[in-house]
Structures are given as structure tokens and as C-alpha cells.
Structure 1
Amino acid sequence: MSGRSPLAPITDPFEYLQIVLNPDGTLTRNFNSIPCVRPKPNDPQGHTPVLSKDVPINPSNKTWARIFLPREALDSSSSADKLPLVVYYHGGGFILLSADMVIFHDSCSDLAKTVPAVVVSVNYRLAPEHRLPAAYDDGVEALRWIKTSQEEWLTGYADLSNCFLMGSSAGGNIAYNVGLRAAGLVHELEPLKIKGLILHQPFFGGGQRSASELRLMNDPVLPPVVSDVMWDLSLPLNGVDREHEYCNATVDGGSKDLEKIKSLGWKVLVNGCDGDPLIDRQIELLKLMEGKEMHVVGNFRVGGFHGEEDFDLSKAHVMHMVVKDLIMSSNRSLN
């Protein structure tokens, strides 16, 4: 799953994704497809602009998080200078990848430095071994963990009252669904206070092909045939199809919890490009929230492809500048 190529259309999504579905319903994955990188918790010489460390969330579920801290935060001892908190959920179609892969490590490092912010990148359980809503459950559990954690990078440098949920691709879907749940847990999550959702190329679908899916049927990165397999492996069993609310966020007029998000005044950013087969789904979600008069902003550009920012850090940085503007504007609106 890398950049574009002039190869023939993808006909075997399992081969393309480098996965094998086993008779017991588990997946054999190629864990070497994208290299992993160790965290960088210490740098006495000060050459690393962003420090990072891994911390467990729920050992029984093997969930954990990688925390990113801009070095500049170490120079401030004032609680008034605490940084915004971004809780990040990685992509991978719910079935692949992990928070320690270099593409997510580098992107979260740049995000932490650019905003600047403390970033908590959540490593959640994967489907089909753990079908949805397991990833959503893990996403909410991460928020509860942050609320009570005595991890020094959180207690010392993160402003828990200035939190944003962010995700890319399937992670954008997770951020959205975790946000829907969290909107009903406002008092339970205090002092953690969510201010907004940042949905970068969020992964949604539906029972019928959208115009952009038909237009990009032979997309070399994420053609609909690949998305179909991801949904088949991640949606709940027992007859659930792609008209389920986990997949199609606009079904039946959208979740009633969107009204809670509206009442809380959260800001929402939906980011994408027209080279992504999913762009119509993303625009549908944007229009749904606009119709409910929510504080939602769309940021769509011409060209590009799904996951482009994961493999081009310069483009990720441009996107992170948009994220910075959203976070800063949310803070200004409260002053």
C-alpha cells in the first residue's frame, strides 16, 4: 500500500494487501511491508525536536499508545503553557498497520512539532480477529486512560481541556465514531474536554457505488474492490452489510449523537482530495453536518490520492498546518 504506479488494475485485493485469510477467520499479515521504528524517549544532546515513548493502555487487549512531545515543551514550567492534546488513530482499513510504523511515527512527530501539541497515537485491536466496534471501544478506552493517567508527559505538558480527536482513513472513521460516543460521556471524561474532530480522508462506504468510486474503479491505491474486502473483514458478522452506520455515516439521516456534538460546539474538519475514490463519501458526511448547522469545515484539494500524506511528509506538513489553524481558531473563539 504505497504510492501510485502504472500497473494493471488490482484484481486480487488479498494479494495487493499482502494478507491471507485463514480458515479460523484470522489474517496472516506481512508485517514487513512497512518498517517500524522505535520511540525516542531520550535525547541528551537535544538533536531530536520531538521525543516519543510507548505506554500500555490495556495489556489484556494488547492496546498501547505512542506519545509524542515537542522538545520545546521541556523548556516551559508554567501550566499556562501546556500544549493542546491530539489523540490520533492510524489508518489501515481496520485490518492492517500499527502506530509504531515509520509512516505514522514521522507524521505524528511532524504534527506534534507543527501545532505544537502533545500527540497520543493509539494502537487499537485489528479486525477480523476483533471486528468493529472493537476499534471504537479501544478508542474510547484510550480517552478514559488519558483522563486518569499519571504519565508525566500528559500531566506535565498536555492541556486535557483542549483535546482533539484525529484520524486518517480508517482512523478518521474511528475518530468520528469515538467522537459520537464521547459526546455522550462529557462529564465522565472530565477533566478531558474534546474541542473538535479532525477527519483526514475518512474511510466510509455504502451499499451502492458512489460517482467517485465508479470514476476511480481502477484506482491503483484504494480501488473499491480493496475497500470491499476491508469492510467485509471488519464489519460485524450476522448479516451486517455496507449500509450499516459504521460504514455509511449518512444512513437514516446520520447519528442522533451529531446533535450532541453540535450542542457542545465542537469544530470538525473533513480533509480530502478528488483523487481519492472515497471523496464523495467524505463530501456527503460534510454536507450532512452542514445541514445540521454544525461547526464543520471542508478542506478538499484537486488531485492527490488516498493516503498520499502517509508517504510524502511534505504534504503531511501542509495538512498539519490546516490542523494547526483549526486548533488555534478553536482557542481564539473561547477567548
Structure 2
Amino acid sequence: MDFSSLNPSMRNDIAYDFSPLIKIYKDGRIERLTGTTKLPPSLDHKTGVESKDAVISQEPALSVRLYLPTKSTTNSPDKKLPLLVYIHGGGFVVETAFSPIYHTHLNVLVAQANVVAVSVDYRLAPEHSLPAAYNDAWAAIKWVASHSEGKGSEEWLNRHADFQRVFFAGDSAGANIAHHMGLRVGSEGLSGVKLNGIVLVHPYFWGTEPIGAESALPPIAREYMAGLWRVAYPLTSGSDDPFLNPGKDPKLGELGCEKVLVCVGEKDVLKERGCNYSEVLKKSGWKGAVEVIEAKGENHVFHLFNPTCDNAVAMFKKIVSFIN
């Protein structure tokens, strides 16, 4: 994210200006500046991936989008494929599972990795403050797990998902959520499911004290990251809340998977946190393996906006090999 153009709002009708994501007005009005367009599910002819939506809860309103690689499932109708639960980013405040960038991203990822995928559409802050998004994601994961014996409401999962090869993934705020879902699997268990690994792309983690190159960031960049978190989670204890700073979480060693892949971008303001996550995870007592890959010259979630660039293609290949 480029912070060079950011300035605290001088307009007296705006309470919080987190451009280019969201503006919150003093009268309570919320203006989302991105991520409001939605695409319907489809059969994507370029990738051969079919998608459909499922409502899993009316109260709270909670939906998912499912993805199926039709080439594999048509040729081998009883073959079981790895199952990927994907959680979108957007600072907890914008985007949906139905946004064009995520629909396109999942089509490509599902085709390349040859997986069944479930993309979670959680409630957004500030209308639904955290921990609503965490609770929604866990409810969706438990709904997915309810298919592990082949008796769930969604036939794609009953027929094609291998519940002994399950992966969580997410980008930015979605990576933060995916990490915490892995912790819940470790602490609470998930019947019928084996969580093999988690992919964290440019995870939104933060902390009170600067680490590494963060000390060179302009103050407005640090305040942006801390302030956006406070807006999403008004009852937070601050930037060292374990939900935001894994290094402050005494339960970090309980992560319920065998391996983690962390992707960072060289120019991303969140890069140091992704690298630090690897270090604190290794020291936590967790017994798994963690790997960090860095995309040189790239900014935050570059792959969503330029999915065919060399660095994005390389990152996709790494994620595919991680899953398979």
C-alpha cells in the first residue's frame, strides 16, 4: 500500500479516513471505496472451474462460495481432492467472497492446485465489529467439517472433498483470520478433519513496537495500521492484542497443522510482520515446519491485481506445491 498520498482528513464531517478502503462519517454513514462489486457464481471457461453459493446461516447471515475443478471431477467422478478453505482480505472492512478479484483468484487457484475450495463470506466491520469475522469463519469451517462423513447438505463436499487433506488460506486480514482458525483447530479440535497446512499471504499482523525496517516507516503508515485495527475491533486491548500480534499470544504453539507457508512482498508495509511470524512460531513450541517466501519488488496483495506477472505466477506455483 502506498502511504505517500495519505493525510489525516481535514474535513470536519469525517470521523475516520482509511482511504483507499473506507471512510466513516461522524453521522455514522460508512462509505466503502472498494470491494463493493459482486459477481455471480459461474462456470469459468478459461479455467474449467465451476462455482456455486450456499447459505449456511440465516442469523447471522453467512454464506460461502464453493469451487470445483470440473476437468478432474468429470473424468474421475469419485476421486477425492484436497479441500481448501479460503478467507478473503480487505482490512476486515471491505471486499466479499463474491468480489471480482477473489472470484478470479479462486478460479485460477482451484484450477492450478486441483482442489475443492470454499470461500468464506464473513461479516464486515465496523457494522459488525470483531470478533464477528472470526466467529463467522469458524462457523463456516464447522459447516465444512459437517460433510466429513459424506452426509452434509452440499454434494460437492460430500462427493469430492478429502477431509484428511484440508488447508486454510487467506490474504491480508484473511490471512490473520486463517491463522486464528488454525489455532482454534489446535485448541478445540475439528472432528473428521485433518488440517495439513495454512497459507498466509501478506498477513495483517501488527504490534506496538516497530520491528526490523518498520522503524523507517512514516508515522502515518504505522498509525494507519493500528487505527484500522481499532476501528475493526473497538474493544481491542491495542496493537499487541494476540489477535493482531501473534508474538504476544501464549497459545501460539497450539497451531493445529503440520506446516505453514508465509508469503511476503518486499515493498509491503506488513512484510516484517510476516517474517517475524515465522520466527515467533518457531520459538513457540509448535512442532511443525514454517517457510517464508518473498516476492522481490512487490507491494501488498500484488497478485490479486496482476495475477499473470512473473512473481504472481511463481507464488501460485509455490502454493500449489505446498498443497500437493
- Which piece of structure 1 moves more, 130-139 or 21-30? 21-30
* 1:283 pairs with 2:275: yes
1:213 is aligned to 214
Report the AA paired with residue 258 of structure 2: W
CA drift of 1:173 comes to 0.2
CA contact (8 A) 2:182 2:257 kept: no
CA drift of 1:265 comes to 5.2
CA drift of 1:157 comes to 1.2
CA drift of 1:63 comes to 1.4
The answer to which structure has the higher helix fraction is 1
Q: Which runs of 5+ in 2 are unaligned?
A: 9-15, 147-151
Residue by residue, what CA displacement relative to the aligned partner does 1:164-197 show, whole Å, maximum 9, x if unpaired?
01010000000001110111232xx222221111
Q: 2:40 aligns with which of 34, 38, 41?
A: 38
1:249 is aligned to 246
- TM-score, with structure 2 as normaliser: 0.86
Report the AA paired with residue 298 of structure 1: V
CA drift of 1:51 comes to 0.6
Q: 2:319 aligns with which of 310, 315, 323?
A: 323
* 1:298 pairs with 2:292: yes
CA contact (8 A) 1:25 1:128 kept: no
Residue by residue, what CA displacement relative to the aligned partner does 1:88-123 show, whole Å, maximum 9, x if unpaired?
000000111111111111111111001111111101
* 1:162 pairs with 2:154: no
Cα separation, partners in 2 of 1:317 and 1:38, compared to 1, 3 Å = farther
1:126 is aligned to 124
Cα separation, partners in 2 of 1:116 and 1:232, compared to 1, 3 Å = same
CA contact (8 A) 1:25 1:129 kept: no
Residue by residue, what CA displacement relative to the aligned partner does 1:218-275 show, whole Å, maximum 9, x if unpaired?
99xxx434323321211242x6211111111101xx332x3333xx652111111221
Q: 1:273 aligns with which of 254, 261, 265?
A: 265
2:80 is aligned to 82
Q: Matched residues, percent identical?
A: 31
2:302 is aligned to 308
CA contact (8 A) 2:176 2:204 kept: yes
Report the AA paired with residue 319 of structure 1: M
2:11 is aligned to none
> Following the alignment from structure 1 to structure 2, what is the Cα–Cα distance between the partners of residues 245 and 26?
30
Q: 2:186 aligns with which of 183, 190, 193?
A: 183
2:12 is aligned to none
Say how many residue pairs are matched: 308
Q: Which runs of 5+ in 1 are unaligned?
A: 329-335
Cα separation, partners in 2 of 1:138 and 1:205, compared to 1, 3 Å = same
Cα separation, partners in 2 of 1:216 and 1:105, compared to 1, 3 Å = farther
> Following the alignment from structure 1 to structure 2, what is the Cα–Cα distance between the partners of residues 229 and 115?
36
> Following the alignment from structure 2 to structure 1, what is the Cα–Cα distance between the partners of residues 61 and 114?
29
CA contact (8 A) 1:99 1:122 kept: yes
Residue by residue, what CA displacement relative to the aligned partner does 1:197-234 show, whole Å, maximum 9, x if unpaired?
11111001111233433434399xxx434323321211
Residue by residue, what CA displacement relative to the aligned partner does 1:291-329 show, whole Å, maximum 9, x if unpaired?
23531111123220011011011244432211111122x
Cα separation, partners in 2 of 1:286 and 1:152, compared to 1, 3 Å = same
More RCO (CA 8 Å, sep 6+): 1
Report the AA paired with residue 111 of structure 1: L
- TM-score, with structure 1 as normaliser: 0.84
> Following the alignment from structure 2 to structure 1, what is the Cα–Cα distance between the partners of residues 321 and 178?
19
* 1:68 pairs with 2:67: yes
CA drift of 1:74 comes to 2.7
* 1:9 pairs with 2:5: yes
CA contact (8 A) 1:235 1:241 kept: no
Cα separation, partners in 2 of 1:284 and 1:15, compared to 1, 3 Å = closer
- Which piece of structure 1 moves more, 112-121 or 227-236? 227-236
> Following the alignment from structure 1 to structure 2, what is the Cα–Cα distance between the partners of residues 194 and 267?
9
Residue by residue, what CA displacement relative to the aligned partner does 1:113-155 show, whole Å, maximum 9, x if unpaired?
0111111110101112222221111111111111223211111
Residue by residue, what CA displacement relative to the aligned partner does 1:65-101 show, whole Å, maximum 9, x if unpaired?
111111113324454x211011000000011111111
SS at match of 1:184: helix
Matches within 5 A, 1:47-62: 49-62=48-61
